[in-house]
Structure 1
Amino acid sequence: MELFRIGFLSFTLLDLADVSLVAFMLYKTYQYMKGTLAAQIFLGLLVLLAGSAVASFLNLTSLDWIFSRLTSIWFIVVVILFQPEIRRMLLFLGQHRIFGKFFQNSSEEVINAVVSAVGELVDLHYGALIVFARNTGLRIYVETGEQIGAKVSKRLLVSLFFPNTPLHDGAVIIKNATIEAARCVLPLTQNESISETFGMRHRSALGISEISDAFVVIVSEESGRVSVAENGQLFSGLSLPELRERLRHALSEKHVPAEETV
């Protein structure tokens, strides 16, 4: 169905749907990268695309030739510049229920143990960084710490984060119902817009969530504030019931990543 015509060009409902989908994809891509250095690079590429379209429309031969040369290498440039973001997006698509089965969730017993341990850590003002491995393998980070290989329990978690003990600094990595390792070193976030009020634990939690589908629980040593990191987003100031719900969603087969940031 033709909506209107400009000269010899017609604009149909299919064209409208096509333009709308492209605009939506560009918007969601920018929203996905907002607050990172990649967002600024993305805007720069959009400016180049707009310049190429204008040069072609106005028949500016020299500029059109320059932009056409750039266009031939854009794919390689995009892959190099946006490699971390592309990896995160593919991880997100891979764990969507439409494309595959989700990672098998930890038992309610594990969730209860973690929530109880977090409650005690908050009361004691002990800092904690607990990483739940899901689809993405974290072996490279497990190997930076001390191998544990023990069943998840409240007492063990609280003991691992007891100050001045050899294993309290760094992250504990949990897979299924097993604490694989403690004192693990995690990569720091590439997000430059994170508040200065967040310390190294929060930056490490964001970092591992940016390059994997891990779900991370953080307890602030200074404030006792409970936070979680997932898909490169930080959700802070959670109560214990809220933490329990997020754990259930994150570790269940029906998990759908949250979109809002606290």
Structure 2
Amino acid sequence: MADLMEKVSSWLSLLPRISLGNLLEIVIISFLVYEILVWIKNTRAWTLLKGLVVILVFVVFAAVLHLTTILWIMENATTIAVTALLVVFQPELRKALEQLGSRNFLAGILSFDDGKEKQSFNEKTINELVRATFEMARVKTGALMVIERGFSLKEIERTGIEINGLVTSQLLINIFEHNTPLHDGAVVIRGNRITAATCYLPLSDSMSISKDLGTRHRAAVGVSEVTDSITIVVSEETGRVTVAEEGILTRVEDADGLRKILSAAKEEQPVVNRFSRIWKGRLRNGKKAV
């Protein structure tokens, strides 16, 4: 037994020493690799990556068979290929940088807001939102309502028409009424006021979103991926109500369910916990909405 322990000790002594810095590097690199894989899997980059794998297999095949001309062409095309990849992946890279910049740990340091204190919505606003949502759902009026939390939506507001009106069910229903000038696009809600209407939202590139969902739902997921906002969606085809938050779509069955979601959002601080998202699955698609 003593000989065995001595051998084990001698083997362990051959292993490189692992310091606290090494462990920290392992954790950071593992986290980055995970994030990159999730990003690739949930965007069009996954399809492009499969194309790159095919090219890589072809290069290995050419190397095994010593096809020197093909290898020479591939070697000289490498520089051009890197530039081409940056051009092809430009939308995905831009969205990844937007998501990185929208995290609260950077927002606290690099704050470009006007310094005004964030105003939370009250119970009256929640009741008006719930009433308007299910009135529109009953008659199948499509709607898209984005509620600002910690991350500023001023850039999105600039794409629409300024309203600056108190949140009421009558105003929301009139905005989204068919064949009215303001019905197309999203409204932005800050605190207890509707700040803008007919706003354009970024569309999500997530491949996990059901193909049955339309542009309205994809836009709701898109804005929830790059901000900490909550978006209420009313389907024009079915009248079903869905809430988008942190890239996740959740089906809402009744008014009480929507009221609970909004009340919970009102009470909690708008802090994004990145590590908790990993365990919960950041971009899973919750419940099937439509």
Same fold (TM over 0.5): yes
Q: SS state of the match for residue 112, structure 1?
A: helix
Structure 2 CA distance for aligned equivalents of residues 139 and 17 of structure 1: 37
Q: Contact between 1:134 and 1:213, CA under 8 Å: does it hold in 2? A: yes
Cα-to-partner distance string for 1:176-230 (whole Å, 9 max, x where unaligned): 1111122222232222442221112112212222333322110001111111222
Corresponding position: 1:261 with 2:285: yes
Q: Which moved more, 1:5-14 or 1:111-120?
A: 5-14
Name the one with the larger helix percent. 2
Structure 1 CA distance for aligned equivalents of residues 10 and 240 of structure 2: 57
Cα-to-partner distance string for 1:111-138 (whole Å, 9 max, x where unaligned): 1110111111111111100011233333
Corresponding position: 1:153 with 2:171: no
Corresponding position: 1:9 with 2:12: no
Structure 1 residue 155, shift from structure 2 partner: 1.2
Q: How many residues align?
A: 234
Structure 2 CA distance for aligned equivalents of residues 157 and 221 of structure 1: 15
Q: Contact between 1:104 and 1:252, CA under 8 Å: does it hold in 2? A: no
Cα-to-partner distance string for 1:45-104 (whole Å, 9 max, x where unaligned): xxx9xxxxxxxxxxxxxxxxx9xxx9xx9xxx7x9763422331342343899xx9x954
Cα RMSD, aligned residues only: 4.0
Corresponding position: 1:27 with 2:38: no
Q: SS state of the match for residue 203, structure 2?
A: coil
Cα-to-partner distance string for 1:137-189 (whole Å, 9 max, x where unaligned): 33333233222111001111112111122211211111111111222222322
Corresponding position: 1:88 with 2:102: no
Corresponding position: 1:178 with 2:193: yes
Larger Rg: 2
Q: SS state of the match for residue 10, structure 1?
A: coil
Q: Contact between 1:145 and 1:181, CA under 8 Å: does it hold in 2? A: yes
Corresponding position: 1:134 with 2:121: no
TM-score (norm: length of structure 1): 0.70
Segments of 4+ moved more than 6 angstroms: 40-44
The match for 1:57 is none
Q: Which moved more, 1:148-157 or 1:102-111?
A: 102-111
Q: Which consecutive residues of structure 1, in runs of 5 or more, have no partner in the other structure?
A: 49-65
Give 1:159-238 correspondences, 5 Å limit: 159-238=174-253
Q: SS state of the match for residue 235, structure 1?
A: strand
Q: Which consecutive residues of structure 2, in runs of 5 or more, have no partner in the other structure?
A: 1-8, 57-74, 112-116
Structure 2 CA distance for aligned equivalents of residues 240 and 96 of structure 1: 34
Name the one with the larger strand percent. 1
- Percent of aligned pairs with the same residue? 33
TM-score (norm: length of structure 2): 0.64
Structure 2 CA distance for aligned equivalents of residues 195 and 251 of structure 1: 29
